[in-house]
Chains A and B, each alone.
Chain A
Amino acid sequence: MTKNEVLKSWVEQYSGPLLKRAAYLLSDKVEAEDLVQEVFLAAYSSYDSFEGKSQPLTWLTAILNRKAADFYRKKYKSDPEIRLDHFFDETGSWKNDGVLNDWNVSEKEPELLDNKDFSKILEDCIEDLPSRWKIPLKMYYLQEKKAPEVSQELKISATNLWKILQRSRMQLRECLDINWFTNL
């Protein structure tokens, strides 16, 4: 097959999975569509470096991750300022006792995600995070929690990645607490 034929078959086969992943990462359909186009343009121009050692989709997904990181870096040039004063007072102690609420999930936890209502609330809580935190959080979990890779790709310092994860998770904890666990 010629290069053009191969590319054409890739576009046919892999546009779907790539678009779904891009939309998931960026939480924006239009930006995701642009990103997937960029992925195929990049794949076309660097086709010679694809040696067939990996599956085409794996290779294309790696390009997609890099492009998503580029997108993030362009959008957020400076390091984020992450404020914790919603949760902690000036001495760094918890401002309220909400964190002590009993979630009481130990046995039920594996089934939580099967619960459609919970799943929906979790999705909403995640999507409510600012995208400059959400993208690193998603990449962190997509890449099996390899923090050095994520901070390198996004060009954020290791410390900032910890802070982003910390801040996102504190917010998710509160969001789930209010909308699910203490609302049953």
Chain B
Amino acid sequence: MTIKIWKFFDREELYECYQCARCTGSCPAMEVTAALGPRGTILKCLNLGHEAVVQDEKVWFCCTCNVCDDRCPQQIPISDLLVALRNSAARRGNVPGRLLLSLELLAKTGRTMIVHQLDEMRAHHGLAPLPPAPVDEVRAILKRAGLEEVLDF
């Protein structure tokens, strides 16, 4: 199932952007990858429509650090835009593989980290074993919330 991103983000906000690029100038991901960057993302949404953006794998080249949102002189909620775009991308199957793997782990174990020789490691620091996470309840909640739209588990 696909969703319209405008359900999560007010399209009018895009027109507030005057392309000053203060966001992109602050963006750590832009410096080390061929990311779209916040300014480019907004411009592409306006010029090409959001469909073009959500099909581009570069929409995931981001630290989610929110510095763009923090520094925007027009106070455009860029973080919300990026969440909406990626949620939409995920429903079209555009998600980085390793991110999907970590979510699969979450759905299977209730935690996003692999537990390996954990008891010994915790005992080394004088800590009791970690109780298991409530997997059944977590899975039921994720199913009812609709996670199966993007992930089989």
Q: Do A and B bind each other?
A: no
- Which residues on B are within 8 Å of A, measured CB to CB? none
- Which residues on A are within 8 Å of B, measured CB to CB? none
